[in-house]
Amino acid sequence: MQVQLTINGEKHEADVEPRLLLVHLIRDVLRLTGTHIGCDTTHCGACTVLLEGRAVKSCTLFAVQASGKQLMTVEGLEQDGKLHPLQEGFMAEHGLQCGYCTPGMLMTSVAFLEKHPKPSEDDIRRAISGNLCRCTGYVNIVKAVQHAAAALQGGA
Amino acid sequence: MIPAAFAYHAPKSLTEATALLAKLGDGAKVLSGGQSLIPLMKLRLTSPPHVVDINGIQGLAYLKEADGFLRIGALTRESDLDESELIRTRYPLLHDTCKVIADPLVRNMATVGGNLAHGDPANDHPAAMLALGAQVVAVGGKGERRIPIASFFTGPFETALEPDEILTEIRVPVPPAGSGGAYVKMERKVGDFATAAVAAQVTLAASGVCESAGIGLTNVGLTPIQASRAEAALKGKRPDEAAIAEAARLAAEAAQPTDDLRGPAEYKKDLVRVLTTRALRRALERATARR
């Protein structure tokens, strides 16, 4: 089946089998490998992308379902060579060790901060509860999101 | 994990969708949020030759009060419930429930209709809707019908829906003044199914007597369970600690759990007693605040 979708502002077209998962379209067909596959069982959130602005697990969606839709992947965060405040936050606060969960953490946090610009620590912990990290113990990830929230509030 | 091959259909209207289902029969599965169906297909626990995606049908995502009911369109996402002021302020039982289903990312896709139509006794909305005395609206080739939630769950992963029917709306009677509800779930971690969970909805009369009570149990039987004897024990009584304890005992009796990796049956039965106590206390607190 023919699918047409916009990822990070760029139009893409592909001929896919209906059973192709969105994450495989993104990674294997379109070669946007920033989006990761962690568990492949809807648990870990490493494959999180934004579908029409909502953070979803791209391993639990068929590519055909995204036809005609706007998507954003981790590659879309950087603008004109400038990192997104969340990416800056993860660097400044050491919000990653192995980095495997990071693309998912970033995408979940982008959508979350859009809706909740002044979150409490508890809000952040709930928001990322569908994203698993096995390295950090989450403390620095929470700090990274707080860092970005403050930067975004400051008009950065 | 790659699902088996299937033919994908994306009807644009209910009529088109039900006609497709009538034609395809048992070979078709309806794709709503897909957060249960797609994992099952990836594990090849189910391999439907046809998938009918209803997400392209307009007008099935809404939340509104009309004609004495809260009307929830089948494609309303769990996160829409969470963000709804109407749900937060007037339907605390549903607000509790939508916060503990799976995880926030799954809730961005998962639908209320799908949570019911999947017929999984481990899902959370079935118990909530049993406690609220909801109705399900189904549309099929023969037209529209309303199914009381109490007769909707016919077996494990089985519902009263005919093969050509689509669940289009859930109707929850608008609770009268003096009503309150709560959903209390024990889960090992975020995203897991409940070890057990209890939904409770109560209405208090001006005198403080319990006018009506609804109690639903999650994941302690082959279907979602309505704890009818526990409900009856509260009706017409002042809901003091003794009455709550008796209702909780009867709710535990209604549970039919089995041993599994989440715990032995005996533990789960006692868990239902404890969770019923907590759900009723919270529901009563909220009902009292709304009198």
Q: Please give the CATH topology (third level) of the domain spanning B7-52.
A: 3.30.43
* Cα angle B109, B80, A85; round to 5: 75
Q: Position of tokens 């068929």? A: A62
The two three-digit tokens of residue A106, written as one number: 């970033």
Q: What is the pLDDT of residues A91-104, one digit of tens each?
A: 999 999 999 999 99
The two three-digit tokens of residue A61, written as one number: 């969606």
* Domains of chain B by residue range: 7-52, 63-173, 179-289
Q: How far apart are CA A150 and CA B227, in angstroms?
A: 49
Asked if A60 and B34 come within 8 Å (Cβ–Cβ), the reply is: yes
Q: How far apart are CA A135 and CA A97, in angstroms?
A: 6
CB of A35 within 8 A of CB of A103? Answer: yes
Q: CATH top-level class for A85-153?
A: mainly alpha
Strands B28-31 and B50-53: parallel
The two three-digit tokens of residue B187, written as one number: 């889960």
The conformation of residue B41, written as its DSSP 8-state character, comes to H
Asked if B53 and A41 come within 8 Å (Cβ–Cβ), the reply is: no
**What SS3 state is found at B71?**
strand
In chain B, residues with a C-beta closer than 8 Å to the C-beta of A40 are: 1, 42
Query: Which residues of chain A are under the pLDDT cut of 70?
Result: 155-156
How many CA atoms, within 13 angstroms, populate the side-chain half-sphere of residue A42?
Answer: 25
Nearest-by-Cβ selection for A60 from B38, B51, B83: B38
The domain covering B179-289 belongs, at the CATH homologous superfamily level, to CO dehydrogenase flavoprotein, C-terminal domain (3.30.390.50)
Q: How far apart are CA B69 and CA B71, in angstroms?
A: 6
Report residue B214 CA to chain centroid gap. 13
The two three-digit tokens of residue B84, written as one number: 């709804």
Options 3.40.50.620, 1.10.357.10, 3.10.20.30, 3.40.50.1370; CATH for A2-76 is 3.10.20.30
Query: Which residues of chain B are under the pLDDT cut of 70?
Result: none
CB of B93 within 8 A of CB of B202? Answer: no
CB of B24 within 8 A of CB of B52? Answer: yes
Torsion of CA A18, A22, A27, A33, to 10 degrees: 180
Res B209: pLDDT:
97
Mutate to test the interface with A, among B77, B103, B187 (most CBs of A within 10 A): B103
CB of B133 within 8 A of CB of B170? Answer: no
Mutate to test the interface with B, among A19, A39, A133 (most CBs of B within 10 A): A19
Question: Which of A13, A108, A24 is closest to A63 using CA atoms?
Answer: A24
Q: What is the pLDDT of residues B186-201, one digit of tens each?
A: 999 999 999 999 999 9
Nearest-by-Cβ selection for B106 from A21, A40, A130: A130
* Domains of chain A by residue range: 2-76, 85-153
Q: What is the pLDDT of residues B77-126, one digit of tens each?
A: 999 999 999 999 999 999 999 999 999 999 999 999 999 999 999 999 99
Asked if A61 and B191 come within 8 Å (Cβ–Cβ), the reply is: no
Q: How far apart are CA B92 and CA B83, in angstroms?
A: 13
Q: In what order do the strands lie in the sheet with A70-72?
A: A10-15, A2-7, A70-72, A48-51, A54-57
Q: How far apart are CA B171 and CA B73, in angstroms?
A: 9
Nearest-by-Cβ selection for B39 from A42, A55, A115: A42
Q: CATH top-level class for B63-173?
A: alpha beta
For residue A21, what are the β-bridge partners?
Answer: A62
Q: What is the pLDDT of residues A54-83, one digit of tens each?
A: 999 999 999 999 999 999 999 999 999 999
The two three-digit tokens of residue B166, written as one number: 């689509």
User: How many beta-carbon contacts under 8 Å exist across A and B?
Assistant: 79
CA quadruple B278, B279, B284, B287: dihedral positive or negative?
positive
Contacts 24+ apart (CB under 8 A), B162-165: B162/B138, B163/B21, B163/B22, B163/B25, B163/B26, B163/B28, B164/B18, B164/B21, B164/B22, B164/B140, B165/B18, B165/B21, B165/B138, B165/B139, B165/B140
> How would you write chain A as a 3-class SS string?
CEEEEEECCEEEEEECCCCCEHHHHHHHHCCCCCCCCCCCCCCCCCCEEEECCEEEEHHHCEHHHHCCCEEECHHHCCECCECCHHHHHHHHCCCCCCCCCHHHHHHHHHHHHHHCCCCCHHHHHHHCCCCCCCCCCCHHHHHHHHHHHHHHHCCC
Question: Which of B110, B55, B57 is closest to B81 using CA atoms?
Answer: B110
CB of B9 within 8 A of CB of B53? Answer: yes
Asked if B34 and A54 come within 8 Å (Cβ–Cβ), the reply is: no
Q: In what order do the strands lie in the sheet with B28-31?
A: B7-9, B50-53, B28-31
Q: How far apart are CA B217 and CA B230, in angstroms?
A: 11
Res A155: pLDDT:
63
Using alpha carbons only, how large is chain A's radius of gyration in Å?
15
